[in-house]
């Protein structure tokens, strides 16, 4: 498979880095592919733009960063404006509809997922990144939901396992629902 390039964009504190790490780990440890995860953030703990990139390939990966994306996950308006045009043709964009207004041209399939709201309704908006991960699996099939859940379970403290895993399941379901409504001929 040619390399698959993913970018998560949001602000500091949303967990975009963790999302990238879990995705890359799922692809490499659970599914035996080569994966590299990188991130870019500023020096401040909260606020400020943050992005996380994942490259997945069956071959050895040289350049570890992402130029244009096969998949773009947006959790802030700033990220949408910054990365919205760095996409490949026929790529996918998953975005938090409550935080992002997508005014983009280009050929892509959008998946609006109200990740922050879904997570908040489940008990903690901090799990919005997990909702997005579930959505990623459903929208792209780059890793299976099972693989993601396994890594999520191993990556969060005991008291948070249930919430985070369910958040991922909800994100997965949300995208499948969108696909169903669109006639199921996406992907």
Residues that bind other proteins (rule: CB under 8 A) add up to a total of: 26
Does 148 sit near other proteins (CB under 8 A)? no
Q: Which is nearer to other proteins, 149 or 178 (CB)?
A: 149
User: Quick one: 63 or 182, whose CB is closer to other proteins?
Assistant: 63
In the bound state with other proteins, the residue whose beta carbon lies nearer, of 86 and 186, is 86
In sequence order, the 6+-apart residues with CB closer than 8 A to the CB of 72 are: 6, 7, 9, 83, 84, 86, 87, 91, 92, 93, 94, 108
127, two tokens: 């799990």
What residues form DSSP beta bridges with 11? 49
Alpha helices in 54-144, H assignment, sequence order: 77-83, 115-122, 128-140
Kindly tell me which residue out of 1, 2, 45, 159 binds other proteins, with binding defined by CB under 8 A: 45
Among 38, 77, 109, 155, interactor with other proteins by CB under 8 A: 38
Return the number of the residue (13 or 180) whose C-beta is nearest other proteins: 13
Stretch that binds other proteins, among 56-64, 91-99, 125-133, 158-166 (CB under 8 A): 56-64
Q: Taking CB under 8 A as the rule, does residue 29 contact other proteins?
A: yes
Rule CB under 8 A: say whether 21 interacts with other proteins: yes
Helices (H), 84-157: 115-122, 128-140, 145-155
Q: How many residues does the chain have?
A: 187
Q: Among residues 16, 18, 19, 36, which is the contact residue for other proteins, using CB under 8 A? A: 36
Site membership for other proteins, residue 42 (CB under 8 A): yes
Helix H, strand E, coil C: the string for 9-49 is EEEECCCHHHHHHHHHHHHHHHCCCEEEEEEEECCCCCEEE
Residues at the contact surface with other proteins, assessed by CB under 8 A: 21, 24-25, 28-29, 34-48, 61-65, 67
């Amino acid at each position: 498979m040619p390399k698959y390039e993913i970018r998560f964009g949001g602000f500091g504190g949303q967990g975009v880095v963790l999302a990238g790490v879990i995705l890359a780990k799922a692809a490499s440890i659970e599914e035996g592919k080569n994966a590299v995860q990188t991130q870019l953030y500023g020096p401040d703990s909260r606020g400020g733009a943050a992005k996380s990139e994942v490259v997945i390939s069956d071959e050895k990966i040289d350049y570890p960063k992402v130029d244009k994306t096969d998949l773009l996950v947006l959790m802030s308006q700033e990220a949408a404006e910054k990365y919205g045009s760095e996409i490949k043709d026929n790529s996918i964009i998953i975005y938090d509809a409550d935080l992002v207004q997508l005014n983009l041209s280009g050929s892509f399939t959008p998946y609006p997922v109200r990740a922050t709201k879904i997570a908040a309704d489940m008990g903690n908006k901090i799990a919005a990144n997990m909702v997005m991960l579930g959505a990623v699996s459903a929208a792209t099939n780059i890793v299976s939901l099972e693989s993601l859940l396994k890594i999520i379970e191993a990556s969060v403290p005991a008291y948070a396992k249930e919430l985070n895993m369910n958040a991922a399941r909800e994100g997965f379901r949300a995208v499948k629902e969108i696909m169903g409504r669109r006639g199921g001929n996406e992907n």
